[in-house]
Amino acid sequence: MILHAAGSLRAALLDIAEAFQHETGVPVSPHFGASGLLKDRIARGEAGEVFASANLEHPRMLARAGLAGPTVLFARNELCAFLRPGLAATSANLLELMLDPKVRLGTSTPKADPSGDYAFAVFARAEAVRPGAKAALEAKALKLTGGPECLPAPEGVNVYGHKLASGEADIFLAYCTNAQPLAKEQPGIAMLRLPDQLTVGAEYGLTVLNKASLSGYRLAMYILSPQGQAILARHGFAAPGLPREGL
């Protein structure tokens, strides 16, 4: 059973795939990467059955192309700022620090990776706080991950922590769910939630491709089930499919 999924889902979906295989006996072959690049690979004919994207638009594009079924919201995330060791900031002065010409600001690559699109949405929101901020932030942003030509991190290493530790960026805008792996790998890296004026949420979309086997549909349902949603929640995602307590 072939699964294509956003890189930010790697840890959670590996756990889900393991639980799914334990319950059903069906092995899962996962392929992780930037959602936009995965979408392009699927559109070019790469074999696949389930696509778990870090946005809703990429799976919807496959549906419009006649390659997939409806898109279902299955997880939510949020963008946070991660600061290299020794760099201090608060939500009150974060925008000023991001605009500082001496501060290297890292993002993922827009269009190829939804994380980059969400980062540029933060820049758009910054315009309402400080006129001119959008253009300044877009001009200085270093697109260090998610693109087809970006250098990956070493195997098993969080890419954002690697970019910060290597000195390629002083601040990196990335998903808040990176807090868990970074706390283990790079405890000196600080996470800062964005101020309300800059906050941007991420909505993750799930679809089953038209040529999927029955096992593909079973995996998609497992991801949406309380068991799958609970695993996503343990990895820091907001899981819309979890039952409310007390019901």
> Could you read off the pLDDT tens digit of each residue along the chain, which spans 247 residues?
999 999 999 999 999 999 999 999 999 999 999 999 999 999 999 999 999 999 999 999 999 999 999 999 999 999 999 999 999 899 999 999 999 999 999 999 999 999 999 999 999 999 999 999 999 999 999 999 999 888 888 888 899 999 999 999 999 999 999 999 998 888 899 999 999 999 999 999 999 999 999 999 999 999 999 999 999 999 999 999 888 764 4
State the pLDDT at residue 193: 95
Please, which residues have CB within 8 angstroms of residue 59's CB and are 6 or more apart in sequence?
A: 39, 51, 53, 68, 71, 205, 206, 207
Reduce the DSSP state of residue 182 to 3 states and report it: helix
Is 2-75+203-234's fold the same as 77-198's? yes
Separation of alpha carbons 37 and 92, rounded Å: 35
Segments of 84-170 assigned E as strands: 105-108, 142-145
- Helix, strand, coil % over all residues of the chain, rounded to 5: 45, 20, 35
Burial class, 6, CB count within 10 angstroms (exposed 0-12 / middle 13-18 / buried 19+): buried
Give the sign of the dihedral formed by CA 107, CA 109, CA 111, CA 115. Answer: negative
| 77-198 CATH | 3.40.190.10
Separation of alpha carbons 151 and 163, rounded Å: 10
DSSP-derived letter for residue 197 is G
Contacts 24+ apart (CB under 8 A), 149-154: 150/109
Domain ranges of the chain: 2-75+203-234, 77-198
State the pLDDT at residue 168: 95
Separation of alpha carbons 206 and 55, rounded Å: 9
State the pLDDT at residue 246: 44
State the pLDDT at residue 247: 41
Please, which residues have CB within 8 angstroms of residue 105's CB and are 6 or more apart in sequence?
A: 98, 137, 140, 141, 142, 169, 170, 171, 172, 173
Pick the CATH number of 2-75+203-234 from 1.10.3720.10, 3.40.50.1820, 3.40.190.10, 3.50.50.60: 3.40.190.10
